[in-house]
Structure 1
Amino acid sequence: MYFSGDRLRSVRERRGYDSKVVAENIGVTPSGYSKYENGISFPSESVLGKMALFLNVSTDYLMGFDDNDILSKAERNNLITSNLNDVTNVPILSYVRAGESCYSSEDIEGYFPVPRSEINGYECFFLRVRGDSMKNARIEDGDYVFVRKQSDVESGDIAIVFTDFDESTIKRVIKKGEKIILRPENPNYKEKEYDSVRVAGKVLWAKIDL
């Protein structure tokens, strides 16, 4: 089997991912993933398929057989079918709501396959980012964030939160005494202080396209 570690590194960097994020999502250790990029070892057919799904790239491109890196719809469907036991479909939301349910069926735009190891029994969803207030955290306008539903986060985590009038926003949550500071990652925006906010979920990572 031929495999191009240079192409893997190139497409990962173009997608804006840290190598640890890719490793977690394809079910290998960071050191094992590093060996793929450095040409020390080759991924199995199963791992190659997971790479292609997560990075949205064709397997032929990663194997050096084709210069076109676009993952076709047909190949995506084939990869999903062959990895049914290892992946689960996560909803892509157009909107999140205040309250226990967080979203309804009307808010679901579609689904995207994610390794079951990444879900780990939690309820998760994707949400499209609107605005550039988090761009220095490599979360751009139009990106999709992968969110684990939970009602609280640690200070310093990036989260989807509800503020006044049940408006949702994505910000870094800073806990300072009895106050909550929502901090943007863009100097053009100011941080804001609140007595309390409602957390919809913790942002685990961002994906450029789905």
Structure 2
Amino acid sequence: MVRDMDALPLPPASAEPAACAQWVSALIQHRQTILPKRLGEPGPDDRQLELILQAAAAAPDHGELLPWRFVLIPAAARARLAEVFAAALLERDPAAAQEQVARAREKAFRAPVLMLAIVRMGAPGDDVPPPERVLSAGCAIQNMLLMATALGFGSALTSGKALHAAGLRALFGLADEEQAVCFLSVGTAVRRKPGRQRPDPAQFVSTLP
């Protein structure tokens, strides 16, 4: 098993803020996307999964609307998701080769933990507009990714055109105002690439003159 956070012992409860900040910075910098096909067993146990989900609850939530939810996809339900992926591909491309359809199905069986993130966009004119709701969901997801990293697991976000397929909406029981935004995968990193170079803040920060 790859546990890349093992080398980063937790600071003691009495640690100075600077020591805590250093550990948090290391945690954030250690997080990287590990593609689902590179995530194997073991996945989080029940307690670890609970910690990951609890981390989502700390996300900013204007109006305390809880405008997002997550649906876990257990092993017993993966075959149904696989058929949705295959149907979505054939709907877009009826001439898709059997190999392409097989690859679409196979995506449903990757990673020990797989869940779908869903955002309730709200009605036109609501006090909390869709961008804020999506931003809240993004914060919840990032909290989950960081907790997964702290626990020693790899993780990834994946999307794709199947998120907008009628079959997927039906499978997950999405309401009219809900939108699936991404899948979240968690497991043990079987293989990983070197971490990418992070952009310097000067590349994305400016000062209002």
TM value normalised by structure 2: 0.27
For CA contacts below 8 A with separation 6 or more, give which structure has more relative contact order. Answer: 2
Higher strand share: 1
TM value normalised by structure 1: 0.27
